[in-house]
Amino acid sequence: MPERNLQSTLNSVCDNGTSTRADVEFLLAQGDRDSTRRIMHAADEVRSRYVGDGIVLRGIIEFSNYCRNTCAYCGLNTFNTNLARYRMTREQILESVGNIAEAGIKTVVLQSGEDRDLDPFWLAQVIEDIKDKFDMAVTLSVGEWSEDDYRLWRQAGGDRYLLKIETTNPTLYGLLHPGMSFEDRLRCLGDLKSLGYQTGSGSIVGLRNQTCGDLARDIVFFKEQDFDMLGIGPFIPHHRTPLADEPQGDLGLTLRTLSLARILTKDTHLPATTAVGVAGSGDAVRSALAAGANVVMLNFTPPAYKRFYEIYPGKDDSAHSSGQIIKEIETIAHTLGRYVSLSRADSLKQRNENMLQKQTLVREN
């Protein structure tokens, strides 16, 4: 095999045509600062060309921390009996959505653990109420449900859905999710796409026994599946989980994963995830934005509940108002020569597809 060189491999991955999973794996494994910087720079150019300079804001409400699942990395998992559990009422959710609207943000992300007592009809009503009262995109992130439930929420007005694959290595997936099934997760992602949700997936970087080959496979999977959004963040150990003593995911590797996801998938919405901000210094969110990310999620969960949505520690210690946080992001945007966008920022892929359909129609006529 010819010896690989960073720049030629990066060029071939950027050119798209000749890149292989082995190329992506090679680039992920280049842990020195200069390589990371060069990969980030290439991703930033792709980001600028395909999604522009806007840093899109979304508002997230973590409306329930009940969870039936066993995810070994997550502090909400069903075995953590030390966590006070909560579920917000419909009125409380609508009030929080009102705060998002007041901040000028046009997307609400409704997230929860996999709450076995969540009534799908109740959630459908909440979505309808939001759609009636606010001009806003609704993104759901409530885990694995039946196709009928996904259909119900789509018909109620749900626009988008986030469900991370977490890892595409089925053996690793099995070890991290006892009693759960990799095939179920793929089934859910397939259902969501076929129901017309703008669908997001993603993975955790730095899990025990995860290799650069696994991460390369994740990125190739994201490209093949053509997801609209991708959340990529480092693993952060939680003291009340089986992975309590594992080291945190490496920030450089996370940034390279994010960058290569940008380079391969081009026009996907990629957030600078909360986990990146928690794992890194104050500069980590800026680094993620310089590494190909174009979205930031602001947390609008009421303070009384926020600290109980502890998927990992250190997540919600900011006492800043949304106005202050938006100002901070504006400052970061300014230093990067970019701007904060309050647009709805629907899937660019969908727009491309629409454009393609239009072109086809024009041709046929």
Residue whose CB is less far from ligand SAM, 78 or 141: 141
Residue whose CB is less far from ligand SAM, 28 or 76: 76
Residue whose CB is less far from ligand SAM, 60 or 100: 60
Cβ at position 337, least distance to ligand SAM in Å: 30
Beta bridge partners of 297: 58
Residue whose CB is less far from ligand SAM, 54 or 174: 174
Cβ at position 330, least distance to ligand SAM in Å: 27
C-alpha 283/C-alpha 316 separation (Å) is 17
Residue whose CB is less far from ligand SAM, 166 or 214: 166
Cβ at position 32, least distance to ligand SAM in Å: 25
Residue 198 CB burial class (10 angstroms; 0-12, 13-18, ≥19)? buried
Cβ at position 296, least distance to ligand SAM in Å: 16
Cβ at position 72, least distance to ligand SAM in Å: 9
Cβ at position 206, least distance to ligand SAM in Å: 9
Residue whose CB is less far from ligand SAM, 244 or 355: 244
Cβ at position 105, least distance to ligand SAM in Å: 20
Per residue, what are the HEC states of the chain?
CCCCCHHHHHHHHHHCCCCCHHHHHHHHCCCCHHHHHHHHHHHHHHHHHHHCCEEEEEEEEEEECCCCCCCCCCCCCCCCCCCCCCECCHHHHHHHHHHHHHCCCCEEEEEECCCCCCCHHHHHHHHHHHHHHCCCEEEEECCCCCHHHHHHHHHHCCCEEECCCECCCHHHHHHHCCCCCHHHHHHHHHHHHHCCCEEEEEEEECCCCCCHHHHHHHHHHHHHHCCCEEEEEECCCCCCCCCCCCCCCCHHHHHHHHHHHHHHHCCCECECCHHHHHHCCCCHHHHHHHCCCCEEEEECCCHHHHCCCCCCCCCCCCCCCHHHHHHHHHHHHHHCCCEEECCCCCCHHHHHHHHHHHHHHHHHC
Summarize as ranges the residues that interact with ligand SAM (CB under 6 A).
Answer: 73-74, 76, 111, 113-114, 141-143, 163-164, 166, 204, 233, 235-236, 238, 275, 311-312
Residue whose CB is less far from ligand SAM, 233 or 292: 233
Cβ at position 325, least distance to ligand SAM in Å: 20
Amino acid (1-letter code) at residue 96 = S
Residue whose CB is less far from ligand SAM, 93 or 142: 142
